Amino acid sequence: MSLPSQLLQTLWPFRLEKRPEPSSTMRLASPLIAATAMALTGLIVFLILGKDPVTAFQVFFLKPLSTTYDLGELALKATPLMLCALGLALGFRANVWNIGAEGQLTLGAIAGSGIALFWGEALGSFALPVMMIAGALGGMAWAAIPAFLRTRFHTNEILVSLMLVYIAQQLLGYLVHGPWRDPDGNNFPQSKVFVENAILPMLVEGTRVTAAFIVALLLAVASWVFSTKTFAGYRMLVAGLAPQAAAYAGFSERRNIWLALLIGGGMAGLAGISEVAGPIGLLQPVVSPGYGFAAIIVAFVGRLHPFGIVLASLLMSLLYLGGEAAQIDLQLPSSITGLFQGSLLFYLLAADLFITFRLRRIRRESRAVAGVAS
């Protein structure tokens, strides 16, 4: 054995060993373990920053749940996270790694807004449905680019979808600074406010939560039915679990990639238009505080399961609201939200690692045999 590896073994006499059978209970428990570890880390951070941990905890996790309005905000912010994560999870389970939901969300917002701005009045009560469809189509169109490049040229969909996020944001910036800017808007880079029939109705009086929340919940059910009951969903699962088995069974790889990206893009596009036609009400340079990226965490915290994603999106939404409250009440920087999101993902991945592996102490070489030998 070489010297460096001997040294390493003395300092760190452990190694990872695959477990014979990963526990399925722990697989479900790991998001809870991760959330607890995240909360504990947060408390330590608050302590170091000199904040009273009890107050900080209260501000961060309890205040956003105290009034009807706050609960409405929770559902409101959970909506785009849920929509994006549901679509992404279908793709992740099919081994298609679309991480550009943020860009598809942006394109959905642009496409839907186009309808609202130019035909909003003319369409009357049809405006909202048409906008929703346009939003979904916009997201799909953006996701079709990595799908085409992957199936035609074998490019990597992770890179392409990610790079397209920044292009989408530049496109949005160009539109609100240029052709779609409100001429009566004091030169602010934003579009005209949408007409009333192009704004999503409120779900509960006194809150800002819109009908999109119900749509998201229905889509969670639809997504569950799709992946557990339909043959199309089964094909995508097989493609993700065992690509060779999918080829053997004759499931087309091309169709799998297209379907995964189009569903993910469509759902993200829907999230985008729900934001601009909901709480925002117009098109502005930034339509999302990173919902499309946070949705990746949501998808994994939710175990890629539609109902898990519903819960995970509420948790992630709480982190956004808690972060805002911490900024106002505790004068903490806005990056506190990112810190919680990041540590949640970190602990989840760590917990998942220990589900499939365990840490074993390396026994001193040869003790087993030499001890017996006489």
Partner 1 sequence: MTTDAALPPRLQLRGITKRYPAVLANDHIDLTVGVGEIHALLGENGAGKSTLMKIVYGVTRPDEGIIVWEGKAVSIASPAEARRLGIGMVFQHFSLFETLTVAENIALAMDEKIKPALLAPRIREVSEKYGLPVDPNRLTHSMSVGERQRVEIVRCLLQSPRLLIMDEPTSVLTPQSVLKLFETLRRLASEGVSILYISHKLDEIRALCDTATVLRGGRLSGTAVPRDESNASLARLMVGSDLTACQLQPREPGEIELELTNLSLTTRDPFGTRLQDLNLRVRGGEIVGIAGVSGNGQKELLAALSGETLVGEINRSHAGMIRLCGQPAGLLNPAQRRGLGLGFVPEERLGRGAVPAMTLAENALLTGASGGSSTGMLRYGMVQQKAARAFAKATIEQFKVKCGGESSIASSLSGGNLQKFIVGRETRLKPKVMVVAQPTWGVDVGAALLIRQALIDLRDQGVALLVISEELDELFMICDRIAVINQGRLSPTMPSAELTIEQIGVLMSATSMAGHADETVTGEPVDVAA
| Site residues, partner 1 (CB under 8 A) | 1, 20, 229-232, 234, 237-238, 241-242, 244-245, 247-252, 365-366, 368-370, 372-374
CA 182: distance to chain centroid? 32
DSSP assignment string, 270-315? HHHHHHIIIII-S--S---SSHHHHHHHHHHHTTT-HHHHHHHHHH
Q: Which residues pair with 210 in a beta bridge?
A: 202
**Closest separation between CB of residue 373 and partner 1, Å?**
4
CA 125: distance to chain centroid? 31
CA 154: distance to chain centroid? 25
Identify which of residues 187 and 366 has a Cβ nearer to partner 1 in the complex. Answer: 366
**Closest separation between CB of residue 25 and partner 1, Å?**
16
- Residues whose CB falls within 8 Å of the CB of residue 225, separated by 6 or more in sequence, listed in order: none
Contact in structure between 131 and 112 (CB atoms under 8 Å): yes
Identify which of residues 57 and 224 has a Cβ nearer to partner 1 in the complex. Answer: 224
Identify which of residues 7 and 54 has a Cβ nearer to partner 1 in the complex. Answer: 7
Identify which of residues 247 and 349 has a Cβ nearer to partner 1 in the complex. Answer: 247
Identify which of residues 233 and 308 has a Cβ nearer to partner 1 in the complex. Answer: 233
Identify which of residues 153 and 231 has a Cβ nearer to partner 1 in the complex. Answer: 231
Contact in structure between 131 and 116 (CB atoms under 8 Å): yes
Identify which of residues 48 and 372 has a Cβ nearer to partner 1 in the complex. Answer: 372
**Closest separation between CB of residue 22 and partner 1, Å?**
11
**Closest separation between CB of residue 27 and partner 1, Å?**
12
**Closest separation between CB of residue 252 and partner 1, Å?**
7
Gap between the Cα atoms of 101 and 88, Å rounded: 8
Handedness of CA 291, 204, 330, 37 (dihedral sign): negative
**Closest separation between CB of residue 2 and partner 1, Å?**
11
95-120 residues labelled b (16+ CB within 10 A) or e (exposed): bbbbbbbbbbbbbbbbbbbbbbbebb
**Closest separation between CB of residue 237 and partner 1, Å?**
8
